[in-house]
Structure 1
Amino acid sequence: MLVNLTGALALGWLLTALAARGPETTRRKKLRLLLGTGFMGGFTTYSALATDTMLLFTQGSTAIGLAYGLGTVLLGAFATWVGMLLGTRGRTPQGDAK
């Protein structure tokens, strides 16, 4: 669960930080795909979440399985949101003069 939550936080930060730098260029797109889809996709795994949840269900730990599955998804959404906040920290949108 910790790996998936860390990955959600990092992915939220990465995507927002890249978007805050301006329009997507070929270089930014390659960086987003390499780090976001490639590295973070390999770091986090939906299959591990699904397998671990199913194992808990089949071992008779229905409540723990539900808590683990739903908790990972809900906490992952929160971690992504926090990552997005961190990615926009100290940045103003393109074109805004301050």
Structure 2
Amino acid sequence: MAQPTTLVATSLVALGGGTGAVLRYHLGRAVGALFPTAALAFPYATLTANVVGSLCMGLLAGWLARYGSAEAEGWRLLLGVGLLGGFTTFSSFSLEVMLLWERGAPGLAALYAIVSVAAGVAGLFLGLIVMRMAA
């Protein structure tokens, strides 16, 4: 199969992105329902979305590197660009760092930023390692 047409590629990204955004929304609701006071004090839902999304991106990248071909481009667009792009929340992350800082909690803002980036990168590496070991 050749590369997807622009219309097909756009549709795959839109379908994945919409699904990822809906999943992110429900993750935020679930975290808020499970930990109502903790969710107000620290952005756990965003942190979780970014770490889980990074882990999944590592798994996907590892799978595509091992097994991917021209036919896998549709999966990359649907899952990587769309679903995981819609699910992870680095724009929300940036806003939450700034809000923590403005609320007078620069230490917590710095901690959140460091943990988010370090855990996200670690999740991606872990996903790649898992996929490489599975081969």
Task: Pick from 28, 47, 57 the counterpart of residue 91 of structure 2.
Answer: 47
- Which portions of structure 1, spanning 4 or more consecutive aligned residues, are displaced by more than 6 angstroms? none
Q: Return the structure number with greater relative CO, CA threshold 8 A, min gap 6.
A: 1
Q: Report the count of equivalent residues.
A: 89
Residue 67 of structure 1 aligns with which residue? 111
Once residues 108 and 90 of structure 2 are traced to their aligned partners in structure 1, the CA distance between those partners, rounded to angstroms, is 18
Residue 15 of structure 1 aligns with which residue? 61
Q: Which runs of 5 or more structure 2 residues have no equivalent in the other structure?
A: 1-46
**TM, length-normalised to structure 1:** 0.86
Q: Tell me how large the CA RMSD over aligned residues is.
A: 1.0
Residue 73 of structure 2 aligns with which residue? 29
Once residues 9 and 53 of structure 1 are traced to their aligned partners in structure 2, the CA distance between those partners, rounded to angstroms, is 22
Residue 16 of structure 2 aligns with which residue? none
Q: CA deviation at 1:89?
A: 2.2
Structure with the largest fraction of helix:
2
**TM, length-normalised to structure 2:** 0.63
Give me the identity figure in percent: 31
